[in-house]
Amino acid sequence: MGQTLTEKILSEHLVEGELETGEEIGIEIDQVLTQDTTGTFVWLQFEALGLDEVQTEVAAQYCDHQTYQFDFKNTDDHRFLRSAAGTFGAHFSRPGNGICHNVHKENFAAPGKTMLGSDSHTPTPGGLGELAIGSGGLDVAVAMGGGPYYIEMPEVVNVRLEGELPEWSSAKDVILEMLRRLSVKGGVGKIFEYTGPGVETLNVPERTTITNMGTELGATSSIFPTDEETREYLSRQGREDVFEQIGPDEDAEYDDEIVVDLSDIEPLVAKPSMPDNVVPVREVAGQDVEQVIVGSCTNGGYEDILPAAKMLKGQEIDMKTEMIVAPGSKQASEILAREGWTAEMMAAGVNFSEATCGACIGIGHVPASDSVSVRTFNRNFEGRSGIEDDSVFLSSPEVAAAAAIKGELTDPRDLADELGLDAPGVQMPDKYNGSKTDLIAPDEAVDDELVKGPNIGDVPLKDPLDSKLEGEALLKMDDNITTDHIIPATQDILMYRSNIPKLSEFTLSRVDDTFAQRALDSDGGFLVAGENYGQGSSREHAALCPMYLGIEGVLAQSFARIHKANLFNFGLVPLTIDEADYANIEQGDDIEIVDDVAEAVDSGQEEFTVRVNDDWELTAHLDASAREREILSAGGKLSLTRSQYDAE
């Protein structure tokens, strides 16, 4: 039987296990990526593990989430990251050089390689045939040290693309269509492998828009085969030498198949406040728009901004609407400027931001209250823009530019009819000839020892798992709690990411601002949640801070993949419960796990009896591999890995 592309890459990197769906496998990692909000902790953990040199082919540290450096804490973090990259042998991308996924795609992504990154949109280079997976920072630290990455073998789903996109429809609409069909949970435990005749009609930047936002489906990763389009992209980036022709065997067998006819795709938007709340633009046309932003790791490339620029040339942005362009990388900014497009957009009324995540995580350009913002980003979770009652629509750059010109949601085809606009298409520049001054290679390193400012603290460690786990249900939450709910990514909070006692004060404050103090005052305790707990980012602080506050475990109907791995990594027990039991537990109930937890976890026990208020009992399930059980028993992965290194 032939192999899928995913199976081919995994078999070449397999160090443990077999490629059976649902079985745990260990794979060798070729490349790692970290960004500034997760990177400080990655390097502190790398240091705490006693490791002294990066072992992967490529390790890259980006500074993209907090580049405005509002106070010394951000700048200290960036200096620490530069010093860590220099000390341990990683590339360092300076603040302002761009968003990790964009800069990595431009400089390092390569067909057939594996990558692990401490950011949830790590799968972006799947558009070039790289198998890239987002994980918690500790997994990245261990992979950088040469350790395997463990994961349950996902299902591999064939997404067969037929036809060709019509004018004014874009790659963003393809992934929005996938979200419309499958929802934000539709990709959990899956890798989406794109195949079929439609693939060659999309260039690499279009493919990476789709693989980037596969994360919103909850997918482990998304990947395209390589072809002449891939070679062309790499050649224009000056990296043709890494090209390799790879794809699935003709008789590859997939776990499932989805067919998307590109010629049926029309301009779509995700309505507030979930990326799967997708409708045709025409269904919501006419709604006033006060803000438009083109940018982010999804649609911040030269190829994304150029269509908007072409539409804006000779036009004026509506008087009540602000439009911001935030390029995903300095390379994109520089080429647009050299070609004169920046001036055309400025003349139309666009304001420019530096190449940063910025508004995507509520840092700058917060929308006005009770107003609509149209963004080309990948997420519109409530409050992510920096204001709680926001109303953010996700769209393609074409739909965003149309909204800016018209001042209201508009299907770009209708605007084109009205103004006589030509469809802009999606083109790459002849050469990606941006300068590389902001990317410092290991052999050009500025520092050879760690530089830690006062806001950079120690890594907290947890004791081995107790036999007795009991405490209060300190917080009961609904479905789809995101890591943004657990630890908000806003500037005023994330500046404490290397200072865990301080950061912990903000844990779940968006759900209940008394939670952190109540947790500290309690001696242990539990979180209770509905479906898909921990969806969103790879932010390991969303597990680390509850651990620091003394939380012992989470009872949820289901968990998002990366967050569940992070719970194991920080020694919190993730137990699944059914819907009826979830409904019966109240916040404030006394929870007691009747079993000897330490022994049960060690022995592979899957069902646990949970007594509530000494009154009724429910059965909770622990779905954990032998390795995850070992991690839990040790009090987390850091404690376990340290003890293993000590024993060697």
List residues binding ligand SF4 (CB under 6 A): 64-65, 99, 101, 119, 121, 296-297, 357, 360-361, 378
User: Using CA atoms, how far apart are residues 355 and 306, in angstroms rounded to an integer?
Assistant: 15
Residue 119 or 177: the one with the smaller Cβ distance to ligand SF4 is 119
Minimum CB distance to ligand SF4, residue 296 (Å): 4
Nearest to 240 by CA among 228, 257, 251, 252: 228
Residue 296 or 490: the one with the smaller Cβ distance to ligand SF4 is 296
Sign for the CA dihedral angle at 115, 222, 296, 507 comes to negative
Element (H, E) at 106: helix 100-107
341-348 vs 302-312: helix crossing angle, rounded to 10:
50
**In this structure, are residues 581 and 605 in contact, taking their beta carbons and an 8 Å threshold?**
no
DSSP letter at 318 equals -
Residue 65 or 180: the one with the smaller Cβ distance to ligand SF4 is 65
**In this structure, are residues 510 and 383 in contact, taking their beta carbons and an 8 Å threshold?**
yes
**C-alpha separations of 201 from 79, 196, 223, 597 in Å:** 43, 10, 16, 54
User: Using CA atoms, how far apart are residues 202 and 170, in angstroms rounded to an integer?
Assistant: 9
Minimum CB distance to ligand SF4, residue 392 (Å): 12
Minimum CB distance to ligand SF4, residue 552 (Å): 30
| Three-class secondary structure of residue 343 per DSSP | helix
The tokens of 352 are what?
A: 């420019």
Residue 56 or 296: the one with the smaller Cβ distance to ligand SF4 is 296
Contacts of residue 181, defined as CB under 8 A and 6 or more positions apart, other chains included, come to 258
Minimum CB distance to ligand SF4, residue 489 (Å): 7
Residue 127 or 635: the one with the smaller Cβ distance to ligand SF4 is 127
Minimum CB distance to ligand SF4, residue 65 (Å): 6
Minimum CB distance to ligand SF4, residue 503 (Å): 17
Minimum CB distance to ligand SF4, residue 161 (Å): 24
Residue 299 or 315: the one with the smaller Cβ distance to ligand SF4 is 299
Minimum CB distance to ligand SF4, residue 613 (Å): 41
Residue 212 or 633: the one with the smaller Cβ distance to ligand SF4 is 212
Minimum CB distance to ligand SF4, residue 453 (Å): 23
Nearest to 42 by CA among 127, 161, 140: 140
Residue 4 or 37: the one with the smaller Cβ distance to ligand SF4 is 37
**C-alpha separations of 645 from 43, 544, 569, 613 in Å:** 17, 22, 17, 42
The tokens of 481 are what?
A: 């709690």
**Amino acid in the structure at residue 390:** D
**Amino acid in the structure at residue 127:** G
Residue 87 or 211: the one with the smaller Cβ distance to ligand SF4 is 211
Contacts of residue 407, defined as CB under 8 A and 6 or more positions apart, other chains included, come to 288, 289, 318, 319, 320, 321
Residue 249 or 492: the one with the smaller Cβ distance to ligand SF4 is 492
Minimum CB distance to ligand SF4, residue 137 (Å): 14
Residue 377 or 582: the one with the smaller Cβ distance to ligand SF4 is 377
User: Using CA atoms, how far apart are residues 642 and 476, in angstroms rounded to an integer?
Assistant: 34
Minimum CB distance to ligand SF4, residue 443 (Å): 27
**C-alpha separations of 538 from 82, 341, 554, 622 in Å:** 22, 35, 17, 21
Minimum CB distance to ligand SF4, residue 66 (Å): 10
100-107 vs 204-213: helix crossing angle, rounded to 10:
140
Nearest to 113 by CA among 33, 209, 219, 42: 33
Element (H, E) at 162: strand 155-162
**In this structure, are residues 296 and 328 in contact, taking their beta carbons and an 8 Å threshold?**
yes
Residue 54 or 363: the one with the smaller Cβ distance to ligand SF4 is 363
Residue 34 or 378: the one with the smaller Cβ distance to ligand SF4 is 378
Minimum CB distance to ligand SF4, residue 378 (Å): 5
Residue 98 or 553: the one with the smaller Cβ distance to ligand SF4 is 98
**C-alpha separations of 303 from 105, 229, 296, 375, 427 in Å:** 13, 14, 13, 16, 6
Minimum CB distance to ligand SF4, residue 501 (Å): 25
Nearest to 451 by CA among 40, 90, 101: 40
